[in-house]
Amino acid sequence: MPETTLAGTDAVLDGPGVPAKARRPDPLGIGRLLRTVSEAVEGDTGASARLRRLDPEDEVGSPSLHTILARSGHGGPRMSPDDLRRYACSVRIVAILARVGGEGRGMHPGAAFAEMEVSEQRLARLSTARDEALQDLLTGLVRRAASTGVRMNPWALCEAILGEARDDGVGEAARRDILFAYYRVLDARTHAKTAA
């Protein structure tokens, strides 16, 4: 089995080089979702454009979204409209980031936001934003990253969005993980300035 990655990121999803115990726990099936979107947009500019333009509010019935959900083993007749919106946003974010592509590996979103000099105030909203506000915030940041060519691993972003519906704290932990990585970069930058 060859190694599977999302183009332009450091998200190694599976393969012979990834020991089973080193694989990230995936209770939300994000690895399957990333792999499916990556395969759908690879070499197909039409599919890529449709997925980048998904609107979680208007396109919950989108054939493009339901195709991705069916291929990745997500979805089904009992999926709520809120869950469909979360998946639509996650698919859109992955498609936007996949467009950046290239051979390089992507950064953790928090580190990428720090490198992009996203303000602390804007990123602080990440800890309180929920559902639509969270989706809008992350989509805006991802579009900005893609427009400047920043490669970002979408895993934590999808985890933050899809984890909203769960009671086990996955979404909250993903948001804290993004904030921690952001402040770690800012702290390292501050220490480098004071040491110089």
Output the pLDDT for position 103: 35
Q: Is 171 in contact with 163 (CB distance < 8 Å)?
A: yes
Instruction: State the distance between the two ends of the chain, measured CA to CA, in whole angstroms.
Output: 48
- Quickly state the pLDDT bin for 12 (edges 50, 70, 90): very low
Neighbours of 188 (CB within 10 A): 12
pLDDT of residue 104: 38
CATH code, residues 4-195: 1.10.520.40
Q: Which of 165, 152, 31 lies closest to 138 in space, CA to CA?
A: 152
pLDDT digits (tens, 9 = 90+) for 145-189: 999 999 999 999 999 999 998 888 899 999 999 999 999 999 999
Cβ–Cβ < 8 Å for 97, 106: yes
| pTM assigned to the model | 0.84
pLDDT of residue 44: 87
Per-residue pLDDT tens for 77-118? 888 889 999 999 999 999 999 888 633 358 999 999 999 999
Beta strands in the chain (DSSP E): 4-5, 12-14
Split at pLDDT 50, 70, 90, the class of 42 is confident
Domain boundaries, the chain: 4-195
Per-residue confidence band for 195, with pLDDT thresholds at 50, 70 and 90: confident
Contacts of 31 (CB under 8 A, 6+ apart): 11, 13, 14, 24
Greatest alpha-carbon span in the chain: 59
